[in-house]
Structure 1
């Protein structure tokens, strides 16, 4: 989907009007923000009031063009965050994920590392009373967030505004669980299996077991976030329930790496969205090409 088409989609479905709107953005760090940033800046350039909320310490986030940036304090430094992510990536890269056990270990380790980090961010933002009051008083039309971290989804539920999620593959498959998408394990391979859509009986069995474990994996990943959300919203709830309220989900998947599967009407595929815009080819005159061909023939 082209950038202009995606922006118009957000305009009509989320802001509800061709008039400029007020959009709250709560991104996730790293490549998640790198992929979302061009969209956010373009929405701001087109006259929308875009407010981006980020932690004071992060790997890649900072002020962006045509937007207002607000920050909240976090209990770690950028150096500590870099060290944690570096050690985590070293483990993932050194683990053989071609084996079933290796894939399970990487999935488990990734969720444990993510759980600790995202809980710190969620508590830091949600209990910044002055900032949360500012966001409530702003009266936003919608929130754009990456549910890779739970804080944005909780804020959207608190403010009671339409939530637009922009997804990359979620560690526990929450993007498909919360949307109630059919997920036939007989031909949709789970992550870290390296299976294709043509599996023998053994692989279908392993794939089915992993699919059945997905809800348990999500419950473990969100165990602390569920408690924070329930305490902050002052009602018994869970992240899977909150994420099921998405008004629209933008699925930032690369079609070259995904298998066809059923999706819901509010799920929009935007594969290739993270790809750098290609540069135009250098201009070569036809006259020079003809001269070179003539000289080579001689």
Structure 2
């Protein structure tokens, strides 16, 4: 495993990668998440390339959206599943996600869990590619840019001891609060998808506490395969906190306009307008005067 980088280098590399201007280009490793997650991340990466940064992205050979033409270096690795199996996993996942009937809730969790487990396998495939691992080790990246939905990016950051920048809309589990050590009192911070506001009555606060408790029961169940693979790669027992707490900066694709005010930490940055199209100059408007 590569030696840890000096903490003094962290502010410098983050300024190089995130500031509007720069004096020296940085080397950025990108670990994207497939599907709609990639659309937003790709726009950020392309802006960084335009500003002169050197970008290398590692992507599985089998994907839905990651195979399109790109203007930066891409390193691909083989996977143990094919496109047909990937499509089937998506179908099972979406069917389970939309099945909200109470009698099928446990069945939905099990189905979604199987889908997650298959997707986590690609990280093992990446580290089985010794030539790729050696390339990443020798390239001496300044930072890693990732989507936390793909746990592999977090594993890579910890394996190579790289400062990491996360881009996310949010996580259903409690990993943001745990990873940032940010307080999120259930009494007035509603859990994601709870549909509660920050002005909950007593009954809603109790339900919000229960929702948080259920998260702590279910989330380890969903992540146990990923943590098993992480422990295998890092050659030491790994928890979700070990992976998420390694993150240097959290770029949150949201805003208090969409979510309710809540405590934040210094390394949590709101980038709520990043999903919007760039505005265009309005066409010329001429005033017309009407004679009387």
TM-score class, shorter-chain normalisation, is 0.7 to 0.9
Provide the rounded CA distance (Å) in 2 between the counterparts of 1:131 and 1:63: 21
Deviation at 1:105, TM superposition (A): 6.4
Q: Which residue of 2 aligns with 1:35?
A: 40
Contact in 2 for aligned 1:110/1:171 (Cα 8 Å): no
Deviation at 1:71, TM superposition (A): 0.8
Q: Which residue of 1 aligns with 2:124?
A: 123
Q: 3-state DSSP class of the match of 2:166?
A: strand
Q: Aligned match of 2:15 in 12, 16, 31?
A: 12
Contact in 2 for aligned 1:118/1:150 (Cα 8 Å): no
Contact in 2 for aligned 1:107/1:192 (Cα 8 Å): no
TM-score under structure 2 normalisation? 0.85
Deviation at 1:83, TM superposition (A): 3.4
Provide structure 2 residue ranges, at least 5 long, that are not aligned to the other structure: 1-10
Provide the rounded CA distance (Å) in 1 between the counterparts of 2:275 and 2:114: 24
Contact in 2 for aligned 1:145/1:165 (Cα 8 Å): yes
Give the aligned CA root-mean-square deviation in angstroms.
2.9
Q: C-alpha deviations, 1:178-236, integer Å up to 9, x for none?
A: 11211111111112322222222222111101112333333222211111111111122
Q: C-alpha deviations, 1:53-76, integer Å up to 9, x for none?
A: 111111111255431011111122
Q: Which residue of 1 aligns with 2:242?
A: 241
Q: 3-state DSSP class of the match of 1:169?
A: coil
Q: Which residue of 2 aligns with 1:228?
A: 229
Deviates more, 1:242-251 or 1:58-67: 58-67
Taking a change above 3 Å as real, the CA distance of residues 255 and 154 of structure 1, as seen in their structure-2 partners, is: same
Deviates more, 1:268-277 or 1:21-30: 268-277
Matched, 1:146 2:144: no
Deviation at 1:248, TM superposition (A): 0.9
Q: C-alpha deviations, 1:27-55, integer Å up to 9, x for none?
A: 11112111100110111122111001111
Taking a change above 3 Å as real, the CA distance of residues 18 and 218 of structure 1, as seen in their structure-2 partners, is: farther
Taking a change above 3 Å as real, the CA distance of residues 105 and 270 of structure 1, as seen in their structure-2 partners, is: farther
Matched, 1:82 2:83: no
Taking a change above 3 Å as real, the CA distance of residues 141 and 53 of structure 1, as seen in their structure-2 partners, is: same
Contact in 2 for aligned 1:144/1:165 (Cα 8 Å): yes
Provide structure 1 residue ranges, at least 5 long, that are not aligned to the other structure: 1-7
Contact in 2 for aligned 1:57/1:77 (Cα 8 Å): yes
